[in-house]
Structure 1
């Protein structure tokens, strides 16, 4: 049996960050990644899919400046975010949060970013193994660190066993291994696998890589654009994100297993047709948003061709997005859950690489020090404000329809004229009664979730 100090399940941003942090501090760290192929990556790697990019203050949360990246990771420098409703729109040109990054943000090539994170971990001395699927984990919490017997024994699909003192679970929002491990620490028949089931707690995302006409690319260049109130589902929206060389990612996120007949006022949504018997496919939604925005002047399939050497399969990809509140980890058993597996990436799906990297780095650092008991406290301190904001925004828009989004963007446009970025949410009174109501509701939701109450599975629920 191979013995390591830290075994890490999952080789995405959280797992690679944990490996780098642990190995940099002298620990023997092993990443176990099952590996998936992509059109735009030569070797197998993690499920490298993500929607947006990185905003300015996210650089500081992540702790890695883009100047450290090799060429090709950063794709487009951003100067704004466009929020478009059925009839109203709002442009965010500053987050209003101080940061070390001089700019609004950037989009990135996620597969190249993951390769950078892997190389960074290996350069620090970590081992990164691909085609290493973890079937099960057995944990003996009574076993001390550095003893003859490992606290954790991981069983691989290859029938190999790995022993480790500390376990970092970073297997993403599907939580294939995480749920199985956490179930064993919950008493009285309670199951993490039920509370965190991906079909109940996640959204499904679909995106295509399209080459835009030069005039249209000039129009969207520098902006991440979201359309709200054009398709049904809580926090469901299509997007366009510019990459390099006139390539844009066009995609959407929506709840898993949604029944179109349960949507209120389905005829009010611009991307739903009267003859739709079920929720349109991701591919169909993408075609419809492109037709709606640019179909009057362009032939979408001819003028916006798929870039077949990008994405998972011929310019397309489908992937889960965590849409659940975060969970705390059973640290007394030497287990840290990080990134998408802990639900930190997030309730509002604003993008999660920054919090994944930060939580993974905290877990790896503490594991190398031989004591992860402070992990939950540390990640609350590091990303708690970010999670609270996203949980509050997700709850704020629960039940919104097209008219609600128009009202919100009209009010938001007026509020942004008074205050930059997210600072507008901290005002006591904004631009008129509508803004005041919006602010008071947002602040009430934040107050209800204060002091870490946004967590849905707490450390004290585990039994050892």
Structure 2
């Protein structure tokens, strides 16, 4: 059996950051990644590496890694705005309203290269990175005195022993669920069922006509109220060489019979017998926006050498409600596995990197007990904003989105970005008061860490 001070399950942003932090602090650390083949990573197995891959300005500071530290081929382009498009109203945000060390609105990046950068960074710090074999299970003996507390059984028959275990296996939690189940008085799937707490996302890499790319360059575009489902929306993220990621996110397992007011959603059709598949939604979006001037399949071709396979990829996104970790057992859950990433804004690399780094640093010190407080101090404001906003808009229909964008546009005449929710804006009229007060009340209800799905006190050790 091979022994390490810290063992990390999952080699994505959270796992690699944990490995980097642990090794940088002098601990022996190993990152265990099952490895996924990708068209855009042909010479190297690595993590699944799938999301819309955009970083906003203040996320740079949460992440703790400036793009200047990254290889040149990671950043694909700078962003100067976000466009939110409802059925009849829209809103353009050119500032998040949050101070940042990064001067632009944000940037788009090549996610597989970003993951490779984080892996190389961890290995340079001294972490071992084992790719190509999965973790079958974890056996724990908290009373062990002459051996490691945790034994990880690998698919190749090898065993890894460690006193500190960091779970970074993403929103599907293939290892995390089994490990946590031993410390909970309820079935872990009651709270963390992947079909109930997760969203599914689908995206395509398409080359855009020159005129269209010039129009979307610098912008991340989101269409709200165009498809049913809580935090369900399509998007366009510009990349480089006239290529854009065009995708969507929606709850898993939706039933079209549960959709009220179906005619109000621009991307549904009267003859739909079920919720459309991702590729159909994307085709309808492109037809709606550009079909009058272009032949979509001919003029917006798939770029097959990008993405996971054939220019497309499908992946899970964790819920917006994070969990605490059973730190007394020497276990920390980080990134998507803990729910720190967000379906609300289709992003989470920044919170994954930060939570992984905190866990790695503490594990190397020999004491994980501050972890649940530390991650809340680091990303709590971000999580609170996302949880509150997702709750406010949970039951929005297309008309509600149009009203919200129209109201927010008026509020932004006095405030930038999240500043539109400043209490002073309550005086801007009845509609403004309704929007601001709803957000403030919801945010207040989740104060002091109440956004956590289950707390450290619920674990039985």
Alignment TM-score > 0.5, same fold: yes
Alignment of 1:425-436 (within 5 A): 425-428=421-424, 429-436=426-433
Cα offset, 1:193, TM superposition? 2.6
- Indicate the residue corresponding to 2:150 in structure 1: 152
Cα offset, 1:267, TM superposition? 1.1
Distance (whole Å) between structure 1 residues aligned to residue 230 and residue 218 of structure 2: 27
- Indicate the residue corresponding to 1:93 in structure 2: 94
Contact 2:320–2:386 (CA<8 Å) still a contact in 1?
Answer: no
- Indicate the residue corresponding to 2:409 in structure 1: 413
Distance (whole Å) between structure 2 residues aligned to residue 359 and residue 94 of structure 1: 25
Unaligned residue ranges in structure 1 (runs of 5+): none
Alignment of 1:351-366 (within 5 A): 351-366=347-362
Cα offset, 1:19, TM superposition? 0.1
Distance (whole Å) between structure 2 residues aligned to residue 142 and residue 86 of structure 1: 59
- Indicate the residue corresponding to 1:55 in structure 2: 56
Contact 2:184–2:460 (CA<8 Å) still a contact in 1?
Answer: yes
Distance (whole Å) between structure 2 residues aligned to residue 142 and residue 426 of structure 1: 51
Contact 2:199–2:343 (CA<8 Å) still a contact in 1?
Answer: no
Cα offset, 1:432, TM superposition? 1.5
Alignment of 1:292-331 (within 5 A): 292-331=288-327
Cα offset, 1:124, TM superposition? 0.4
Q: Provide Cα deviations, 1:191-233, integer angstroms capped at 9, x if missing partner.
A: 2233101111101000000000000000000000000001000
Q: Provide Cα deviations, 1:369-421, integer angstroms capped at 9, x if missing partner.
A: 01000000000000000000000000010110000000000001111111011
3-state SS, counterpart of residue 417 of structure 1: coil
1:208 to 204, 211, 214: 204
- Indicate the residue corresponding to 2:119 in structure 1: 118
- Indicate the residue corresponding to 2:10 in structure 1: 10
Alignment of 1:15-54 (within 5 A): 15-41=15-41, 42-54=43-55
- Indicate the residue corresponding to 2:255 in structure 1: 259
Distance (whole Å) between structure 2 residues aligned to residue 34 and residue 349 of structure 1: 27
Unaligned residue ranges in structure 2 (runs of 5+): none
3-state SS, counterpart of residue 146 of structure 2: coil
Which moves more between the two structures, 405-414 or 193-202?
193-202
- Indicate the residue corresponding to 1:173 in structure 2: 171
Distance (whole Å) between structure 2 residues aligned to residue 313 and residue 293 of structure 1: 26
3-state SS, counterpart of residue 418 of structure 1: coil
Q: Provide Cα deviations, 1:89-117, integer angstroms capped at 9, x if missing partner.
A: 00000001001001100010000000000
2:230 to 234, 241, 256: 234
3-state SS, counterpart of residue 169 of structure 2: coil
- Indicate the residue corresponding to 1:250 in structure 2: 246
Cα offset, 1:347, TM superposition? 5.0
Distance (whole Å) between structure 2 residues aligned to residue 279 and residue 193 of structure 1: 25
Q: Provide Cα deviations, 1:59-94, integer angstroms capped at 9, x if missing partner.
A: 000000000110210011000000000000000000
3-state SS, counterpart of residue 395 of structure 2: coil
Contact 2:51–2:346 (CA<8 Å) still a contact in 1?
Answer: no
Q: Provide Cα deviations, 1:246-268, integer angstroms capped at 9, x if missing partner.
A: 10000000111100110110111
Contact 2:53–2:110 (CA<8 Å) still a contact in 1?
Answer: no
Q: Provide Cα deviations, 1:272-313, integer angstroms capped at 9, x if missing partner.
A: 001100000000000000000000000001110000000011
- Indicate the residue corresponding to 1:443 in structure 2: 440
Contact 2:249–2:343 (CA<8 Å) still a contact in 1?
Answer: no
* TM-score, scaled to structure 1: 0.98
- Indicate the residue corresponding to 1:162 in structure 2: 160
Q: Give the count of matched residue pairs.
A: 459
Contact 1:325–1:455 (CA<8 Å) still a contact in 2?
Answer: yes
Aligned CA RMSD, in angstroms, stands at 0.9
Indicate how the Cα distance of structure 1 residues 152 and 349 shifts in structure 2: closer, same or farther if over 3 A, else same: farther
> Is the aligned partner of 1:395 residue 2:396?
no
Contact 1:415–1:430 (CA<8 Å) still a contact in 2?
Answer: no
Distance (whole Å) between structure 1 residues aligned to residue 316 and residue 347 of structure 2: 12
Cα offset, 1:138, TM superposition? 1.1
